[in-house]
Amino acid sequence: MKCDCGHEPTFWIDYGEPGYDVIDGKTLCYACGNRNDTINGMRREGEAILHLYKKKGKNGKFHLGNYWSTVVFKDFSVVEIFGRDNIRRDVVFKFEGQKWYGVQVIKNESSPYSNPINCRRKR
């Protein structure tokens, strides 16, 4: 079968067999489902859990996006403050013309997916 998004269902080793999301009556592969969740959540709730990490070997450039990187922000600024045992990062970016911000506090850079950042729309 193909999902309504045009992709095959996602094989996820944890689940043992391919699966998909059903959103507003449409079947979506997990990547498209995740994209939909992120964008709908941002529009409706003004909130998003994104992931922020430094790309390896790219002069310390940051990556900001959702879990599957189906929503990726290119234009954002990061201010890093190095504390004694952690790093605080303040992020500012725009989504659909509105200003968003997020704060991340981490001990150090480990796996990309262990570095979530809670982001909110500015009022």
The rounded distance, in Å, linking the Cα atoms of 89 and 100 is 14
Torsion of CA 92, 86, 71, 32, to 10 degrees: -150
The rounded distance, in Å, linking the Cα atoms of 110 and 100 is 25
Least Cβ distance, residue 2 to Zn ion (angstroms): 9
- Name which position in 10, 20, 27, 32 contacts Zn ion (CB under 5 A): 32
> What distance lies between CA 116 and its chain's CA centroid?
8
Q: Counting contacts by CB under 5 A, is residue 120 touching Zn ion?
A: no
Residues touching Zn ion, count (CB under 5 A): 4
Q: Counting contacts by CB under 5 A, is residue 7 touching Zn ion?
A: yes
Q: Which is nearer to Zn ion, 32 or 50 (CB)?
A: 32
Closest CA to 48 of 105, 101, 115, 112: 101
Looking only at residues 49 through 108 of this chain, which bind Zn ion when binding is defined by CB under 5 A? none
- Name which position in 10, 29, 34, 51 contacts Zn ion (CB under 5 A): 29
Least Cβ distance, residue 94 to Zn ion (angstroms): 26
The rounded distance, in Å, linking the Cα atoms of 49 and 101 is 11
Binding site for Zn ion (CB under 5 A): 5, 7, 29, 32
